[in-house]
Amino acid sequence: MSEPEHRKALMSQMQFLGQMLSTETALFHQAAAAKLGLGITDLKTISTLLQEGPMTAGQLSQRLNLTTGAVSNLIDRLEQRKFVKRAPDSKDRRKVIITAIKENLAPSDHIYRSMGDAFERLLETYTTGELEFLVRYNQATIELTMLESAKLTKLYRKAGDIVDSE
């Protein structure tokens, strides 16, 4: 196989593996959410708050691409389970800040611990240079996915098809 053919085959394999990874990741998160008695959107809301920090309901609505009504119901469910709390914004009393309650998320640590340990063992097999490449690749993949999600959201909003989840 020539170099260009080999490169094309590898790029095709990367596309396929990316799709497989996306599916398997989604299925893992769905199983993790179910184990906690949550829906996938509930779990991703908690993840978003933990990764990006406290935010308003409006910010969550934009970040998760959900209507404000869907986010209100989502926050109600998570607050009832004591996974999040609402607090007045110290800078603008008209706003409410949603914060994940880390202490009450301990059961989720157990669900993700095995996966974290497995990935740590995998990453230990790579050289520092390979890890640097993987970091760059993942950062670029996240950026690309966020840009494509924004384009898709804009397209749906323009067409008037705003999707609610759960």
The pLDDT assigned to 41 comes to: 93
- Indicate the pTM of the whole model: 0.78
Other Cβ atoms closer than 10 A to 60: 23
36: Cβ contacts below 8 Å, ≥ 6 apart: 43, 107, 108, 111
DSSP 162: P
The pLDDT assigned to 93 comes to: 83
**SS3 label, residue 96:** strand
Distance CA(80)–CA(86), nearest Å, equals: 11
Whether 78 and 45 have beta carbons less than 8 Å apart is answered as yes
Average pLDDT per 10 consecutive residues for the chain, totaling 166 residues = 96 96 94 90 93 94 90 95 92 90 81 91 98 97 92 75 50
What domains, with CATH codes, occur in the chain?
A: 3-159 (1.10.10.10)
Whether 45 and 83 have beta carbons less than 8 Å apart is answered as no
Whether 89 and 56 have beta carbons less than 8 Å apart is answered as yes
The pLDDT assigned to 46 comes to: 93
